Each structure stands twice: as structure tokens, then as C-alpha cells.
Chain A
Amino acid sequence: GAGVSQSPRYKVAKRGQDVALRCDPISGHVSLFWYQQALGQGPEFLTYFQNEAQLDKSGLPSDRFFAERPEGSVSTLKIQRTQQEDSAVYLCASSRPEGTVRYEQYFGPGTRLTVT
């Protein structure tokens, strides 16, 4: 498809389990972002990739959060030993077609994570 896709759309995890969230960005987009959105709030930045390089991970809340984009396309956000405070919607966005400096971001539908 033409848009950003994320899977799974919903994930329920027991506290202490590890989870992996997948993002398929728009083909040819150089930049990829992960955001966390709590209910009733705006998205909060987690981490950013330019191609396969993770250039900014300042928003990751703890060392339990890890993201990768090994081939500069698909990205995975992994959360180890999930805690209840990790419950949120995780949004992926891509931007900047190769050779451009366009900054608008295209978001996927998000993965709603519930930790019980």
C-alpha cells in the first residue's frame, strides 16, 4: 500500500513480557520516527532514524526500550519487561522522500499496547 503500516494494531501483554512492534514506512522515505501517545495527549517523540542510522534516541523512556531499522526500511520497536506505565498507543511516522527536504510526516494507524 501507499501509506505507513503498523502491526499488530492491538497488543495485550502481561507485565514482564517482551513485545515487538513493527512499522513499514512509505517506500523511499529516508526518515522514520517513533512516538508514544497517551490517552488525551499529543504524541511524544521516542526515537528517529535516517536510513538505518539511529540519530536520536533521546525520547526513549528507559533502557527497556530498543528500536532498530537494520536495512533502512522496516523498523521494530521492542519493549522488554513491560510495565503498566508502558500502556499507550505507539505511532510510527516516515518522512522525507530521498533527495527532498520535505518535513511533513506520514503516520501509521498506531499499535495500542495494553499491559495488564
Chain B
Amino acid sequence: SQKIEQNSEALNIQEGKTATLTCNYTNYSPAYLQWYRQDPGRGPVFLLLIRENEKEKRKERLKVTFDTTLKQSLFHITASQPADSATYLCALDGNQGGKLIFGQGTELSVKP
């Protein structure tokens, strides 16, 4: 069955460093992959979408890569700030009308 795995442990980094989060998947060939941010008590917020034929996408301090051979996406936040502290979710399209299959999320904590 389809499986998506993100860094299971929380990621703690120092302000100003680059945070790198990993999303691996198996038994699946998604047409696109999305990253969301979720703060406690709130719904996920869309950050970036990358398609299967794209290797990299950037938006301000965010960068996403997508390697369909390795079945892996990396999500980078450069010059991280304490305000970037949140849980980050990776999601693949379910190939049926746009439903998303989510990973379990990685909690990021950026210390001043």
C-alpha cells in the first residue's frame, strides 16, 4: 500500500540556519507533491506545490526538490526564524480528483 514518511523526530535548529525536512514515499507515483505548514490548533496552510516533471521550486526563503527516482522530496527553509517553528506536512495527490495523502508531519523548532 502507499506509504509516506517524514522525519519522525522533531527538528531543532538555531535561528539563521537552514532547516531541511525530508519526505519519502513508496508504492506510488504522484503527479504532484505539496507542502503545508500547521500551527497548533489551526488547519494546514498551503506553502508550495511541485509537479512530477519539476526538480526544484522556490518561494522566498523556501525551496522544495522532488526526485521521482529516489521517491523523495526535500523541503528547505533558509535563514530560519523562530516564527518558522511549526509542523510541516508533506502531501501527495491521490490521483482521484485532488484528494491528498499526508505524511505524519515533522515538528520544527527554531531557537533564537
Contact = CB atoms under 8 A, between A and B. Distances in A.
Interface of A: 4, 31, 33, 35, 40-45, 48, 50, 55-56, 59, 91, 93, 95-96, 103-110
Given A45-B94, A48-B97, A56-B97, A104 B102 contact: no
B97 A31 contact: yes
A43 B93 contact: no
Interface residues of B, number: 25
A93 B112 CA distance: 33
B49 interface: yes
Nearest to A34: B99
Contact of A50 (B49, B91, B97): B97
A42 B103 contact: yes
A109 B91 CA distance: 18
Interface of B: 4, 32, 34, 36, 41-46, 49, 89, 91, 93-94, 96-105
Given A48-B97, A93-B43, A96-B98, A103 B105 contact: no
Contacts of B104: 40-42
Given A41-B104, A56-B99, 11 more contacts: A42-B89, A42-B104, A43-B44, A45-B101, A48-B96, A48-B97, A59-B99, A103-B49, A103-B98, A107-B36, A108-B43
